[in-house]
Homo-oligomer: A and B are copies of this chain.
């Protein structure tokens, strides 16, 4: 299964950019820039991060960060056009610390990453909160220009190490653990 030649999304593994880990993706999603698809993507990432051991709050934060990122691609990258393409990939990176890495790529408008920044929150007005929320709920949030077009955003969130959801309620010494 090493070669990706002839696969429907051939060439995927040829795209390792600066900042991205070499770990293979668990999943890679291509979608059109329709706001209706944000809910399915959140549902998928919520389930994935629950399985990875994130708790409810962290899972909600991860879904929020990706939702905000995709909403920005749809609104700013593609100016609301619904036929743009967006790629989302998820991988688990173990070094230096275990974390979930989500990469979001588009082919839309490019912008200097330094220009993508949260606004002053004291100025209460509608909008301008997405980047602030993304930064607050992730451990890392890095934009860069893609070649030849569009933007790439890499979001990272540390995976809690100690929890194991499967055994959560089974304490040592209770009958259900004492089975021979």
Q: Taking the complex as formed, is A87 at the interface, i.e. its CB lies under 8 A from any CB of chain B? A: yes
Alpha-carbon distance A114/B142, docked complex (angstroms): 50
Q: Is the CB of B24 within 8 A of A32?
A: yes
Chain B proximity of A104: nearest CB distance (Å):
11
Q: Is the CB of B40 within 8 A of A47?
A: yes
Q: Is the CB of A44 within 8 A of B51?
A: no
Q: Taking the complex as formed, is A31 at the interface, i.e. its CB lies under 8 A from any CB of chain B? A: yes
A1-55 CB contacts (< 8 Å) to partner B: 1, 4, 6-12, 15, 24-32, 34, 36-37, 39-48, 51
Chain B proximity of A12: nearest CB distance (Å):
6
A105-154 CB contacts (< 8 Å) to partner B: 105, 107, 148-149
Given known contacts A1-B107, A36-B51, is B44 in contact with A28 (CB within 8 Å)?
no
Q: Taking the complex as formed, is A56 at the interface, i.e. its CB lies under 8 A from any CB of chain B? A: no
Q: Taking the complex as formed, is A94 at the interface, i.e. its CB lies under 8 A from any CB of chain B? A: no
Q: Which residues of B contact A85 (CB under 8 A)?
A: 1, 4, 7
Q: Is the CB of A149 within 8 A of B44?
A: no
* Residue among A81, A85, A87, A148 with most chain B CB within 10 A: A85
What are 28 contact pairs spanning A and B, CB under 8 A?
A1-B78, A1-B83, A6-B107, A6-B149, A7-B85, A7-B107, A8-B9, A8-B11, A8-B12, A8-B28, A8-B30, A8-B87, A8-B105, A10-B10, A10-B11, A25-B32, A26-B31, A26-B34, A27-B40, A28-B31, A29-B29, A29-B30, A30-B30, A39-B47, A40-B48, A40-B51, A43-B46, A43-B47
User: Knowing that A8-B87, A27-B30 are A-B contacts, what are 11 other residue pairs whose CB atoms are under 8 Å apart, sorted by A's residue number?
Assistant: A1-B84, A8-B12, A8-B105, A9-B11, A11-B11, A25-B32, A27-B37, A28-B31, A40-B47, A40-B51, A41-B44
